[in-house]
Amino acid sequence: MVTGTEIELPVTDGVLAGVDFGGRGAGVLLVHGSGHNAAAWTDVAARLVGTCHPVALDLRGHGRTRLGSGGPERYWRDIGDAVTALGWDRPVLVGHSTGGYAVTAATAAGLVEPAALCVVDGVVLDDRAASLLEHAALRTGEAADRLRATFRYGWEASDDQLRAHVERCVREAGEDWLNAGARPGLVGEVTRRSFTRRGSRWVRRPTVEEIASVTALDPGAEILPSVDVYDRLSCPLTVVLAEDGFHAARRDEVRAVVDAAPDRELVEVRSNHNVPMTRPADLAAIVLGLVRNRVAAPAGNTD
């Protein structure tokens, strides 16, 4: 099993934590969704290292990255800095869920020029007005309570409580709506990495304050998590749609995004939303296809 090496990548005001899984060839940046972290990509990366060089990030407020966001644009603005720090030219960017929007926005803003984008059950489909309303709803007290109850965001635990929580998550993985089909050991790795030490306690990240920060959209911003962001893309785009994922009921709208420009592809997989952990072989095959078809790996992308 590939475990990878812990790394730090400099960004505007500090560093992002990440995992360099090694390998040779084209750079592949793996960006997790909200509530996950770099460990979620372990089983995908294990299938990539023979052909390319995968690196996974911990976004702000997640995993081992100490930085908080302080605003909704920091998630995606960091991606350009991370690619620069890695010394990569035209990498493949792969983002799951919120990470799918992050890699899309970074590309749309011109912060990175990828050889291809792969958005995994993370396409944004609403217009600007609807997106602003949806994100405002995520900052209510009711929404914060749901996040605490469902994902334990911000929960503080003792050593014993954390140990018991990880063991329970591993034990119940097969029946969990998000983790069913994932390797139990991987569930444990991702769960452990979701906590950071604060004094004598462990804190589940992200906190509800972090979520409030990244959902506080500026109505006047040039780039928002809305469907018009795809109009700014000129690179190849592959959208991976999970049949039991967050966007399955809006397949026709996803298809419209794909059909709106050449060099776009829709790939449907039999999975719940958590594709990187529950269908790593399928997702790795899709990424490898992008690497082989889109990347003529330049010398700067070999180790």
For 80-117, write each residue's pLDDT tens digit. Answer: 999 999 999 999 999 999 999 999 999 999 999 999 99
Contact by Cβ (8 Å): 271, 243:
yes
Q: According to the model, what pLDDT value does residue 294 have?
A: 77
Long-range contacts of 140-144 (CB under 8 A, 24+ apart): 144/208, 144/211, 144/212
Rounded to the nearest 5°, which phi and psi values hold at 186? -70, -40
Q: Which residue has the tokens 């109505």?
A: 219
The chain-wide mean pLDDT, for the chain, equals: 95
* Cis amide prior to 206 (ω within 30 degrees): yes
Question: Which residues lie below 8 Å from residue 130, measured CB to CB, with a gap of 6+?
Answer: 226
Contact by Cβ (8 Å): 154, 145:
no
- Given a cut of 90, whether residue 151 has pLDDT beyond it is yes
Q: According to the model, what pLDDT value does residue 303 have?
A: 42
Band of residue 70 on the pLDDT scale cut at 50, 70, 90: confident
Burial level of 282, CB count in 10 A (0-12/13-18/19+)?
middle
Q: According to the model, what pLDDT value does residue 181 have?
A: 96
Task: Give the rounded percent of residues in the chain with a pLDDT score beyond 90.
Answer: 94
Please state the pTM of the whole predicted model.
0.95
Lowest mean pLDDT among 69-78, 86-95, 102-111, 149-158: 69-78
Cross-strand bridge partners of residue 117: 93, 237
**DSSP letters spanning the chain:** ----EEEEEEETTEEEEEEE---SSSEEEEE--TT--GGGGHHHHTTTTTTSEEEEE--TTSTT-----SSTTHHHHHHHHHHHHHT-SS-EEEEETHHHHHHHHHHHTTS---SEEEEES----S-HHHHHHHHHHTTSHHHHHHHHHHH-TT-EE-HHHHHHHHHHHHHTGGG-TTTTTS-HHHHHHHHHHTEEEETTEEEESS-HHHHHHHT---TT-SS-SSGGGGGG--S-EEEEEEEESTTGGGHHHHHHHHHTSSSEEEEEEEEES-HHHHSHHHHHHHHHHHHHHH----GGG--
- Given a cut of 80, whether residue 300 has pLDDT beyond it is no
Rounded to the nearest 5°, which phi and psi values hold at 69? -80, -50
Rounded to the nearest 5°, which phi and psi values hold at 8? -125, 135
Q: According to the model, what pLDDT value does residue 296 have?
A: 52
- Given a cut of 60, whether residue 299 has pLDDT beyond it is no
Q: According to the model, what pLDDT value does residue 302 have?
A: 41
Mean pLDDT calculated for residue range 266-293: 97
Mean pLDDT calculated for residue range 290-297: 77
Q: According to the model, what pLDDT value does residue 301 have?
A: 43
pLDDT digits (tens, 9 = 90+) for 204-233: 999 999 999 999 999 999 999 999 999 999
- Given a cut of 60, whether residue 118 has pLDDT beyond it is yes
Q: What's the gap between Cα 101 and its chain centre?
A: 8
Tell me which amino acid residue 112 is: V
Nearest Cα to 40, choosing from 101, 91, 97? Answer: 97
